[in-house]
Amino acid sequence: MPRYFTKDHEWIDVDGDTGTVGITDYAQSQLGDITYVDLPAAGTAVKKGDAPCVVDSVKAASDVYAPVSGTVSEANSALEGEPELVNTQAEDGGWLFRVTLSDASELDGLMDRAAYDAYVADL
């Protein structure tokens, strides 16, 4: 299952026309302790670059941008009770929402792991 990354530190795993979105481990380390995640409802239509999700840390609230356009199919309900999963499992159990892609060609502009790692190393 390919994983893509954005310059805004989101990741998306793509399986068929379903993408699972989260923030990277680098992103969570910059945000610090996550206290709340404002998740999008299933059925929400999103355009690439929209901010359907907000991650709240002790320090600040940060938008999470949709890496692709589509319709939200599911949010990670485990985060309602345990928002800290975004800290402890950012690129795994701390995923945020799933989206049904409307235009898979939007993935072309995203980075792969090696490109993202090089991008972060340069920040």
Partner 1 sequence: MSDVETLDDGAEPIETLTLPLDAWHRARGGRMVEFAGYWMPVQYEGILAEHLWTRDSAGLFDVSHMGQLFVSGEGVESALEAVLPIDLATLKPFGPRYSLLTDDSGGILDDLMVTRWSSGFYLVVNGATKWDDIAHLRENLPDEVTITHLDDSALLALQGPKAFAALERVVTGEYPLSALTFMKGGQFKIAGVDAWISRSGYTGEDGFEIAIPAERAAEIADLICAQPEVKPIGLGARDSLRLEAGLPLYGHDLSPETSPIEADLLFGINKRRRSEGGFLGAERILREIAEGAPRKRVGLALDGRQAAREGADIYVGNQKVGVLTSGGFSPTLNHPIAMAYVDTAHAAPDTALEIDVRGKRLPARVVPMPFVPHRYHR
| Residues at the site binding partner 1, with contacts judged by CB under 8 A | 8-10, 23, 27, 30-33, 35-36, 38, 51, 54-65, 83
DSSP bridge partners of 97: 21, 75
12-30 burial code (b ≥16 CB/10 A, e <16): bbbeeeebbbbbbbbbbee
Q: Closest Cα to residue 30, out of 96, 115, 92, 90?
A: 90
Nearer to partner 1 by Cβ, of 58 and 114: the residue is: 58
Minimal distance, residue 105 CB to partner 1, in Å: 23
Minimal distance, residue 95 CB to partner 1, in Å: 14
Nearer to partner 1 by Cβ, of 67 and 70: the residue is: 67
Cα 103 vs. chain centroid, distance in angstroms? 17
Minimal distance, residue 57 CB to partner 1, in Å: 7
Nearer to partner 1 by Cβ, of 16 and 81: the residue is: 81
Nearer to partner 1 by Cβ, of 2 and 49: the residue is: 49
Asked if residues 72 and 66 have their Cβ atoms less than 8 Å apart, the reply is: no
Minimal distance, residue 51 CB to partner 1, in Å: 7
Cα 87 vs. chain centroid, distance in angstroms? 13
